[in-house]
Amino acid sequence: MATTPDYLGARNSQCTIITNGDGTTAQTIFTAGTNGARVHLVSASTDDTTPSLTLMKNDGTTSCILATFQLPTNSCRVNGAPAVDLLDPTVIPSIPADPGRFLTLGAGETLAVAMTTTLTVDKTVHVVVDGVDY
């Protein structure tokens, strides 16, 4: 048992823009600090026509797929078209379904996304991650 508790520390927020030039190569969207992190929000938006992306967790050795999501056309780019919640507990059952849901990452672990097909030229996907390091 720890002799001192680990408290949530510095905010760790990252925004990644994926373009046609990134192809289907995985893009790191979040890196946990040296004591790990708690991720509260991962959302994606696009101006492309229904692209799909895969969300992955990497422990430094192995990348594991958490889920694959299809992004609606113009999600979060026009009024009434919301961004896609990539921590949706109905898609990833291990995410708590309460309002304070989160994903815990160990020291230096990363989250990444990879498009399942290359985006259309001049179209983008924006991925926003908000969390805190321990």
Assign domain 11-133 one CATH number from 1.10.357.10, 2.60.120.340, 3.30.565.10, 3.30.9.90: 2.60.120.340
Task: Give yes or no for residue 92 having a pLDDT over 90.
Answer: no
pLDDT of residue 3: 53
For the chain, the three-class secondary structure string (H helix, E strand, C coil) is CCCCCCCCCCEEEEEEEEEHHHCCCCEEEEECECCEEEEEEEEEEECCCCCEEEEEEECCCCEEEEEEEECCCCCCCCCCCCCEECCCCCCCCCCCCCCCCCEEECCCCEEEEEECCCCCCCCEEEEEEEEEEC
Task: Give yes or no for residue 76 having a pLDDT over 60.
Answer: yes
The percent of residues in the chain predicted with pLDDT above 90, rounded, is: 66
Task: Give yes or no for residue 78 having a pLDDT over 60.
Answer: yes
**Between 81 and 52, whose confidence is greater?**
52
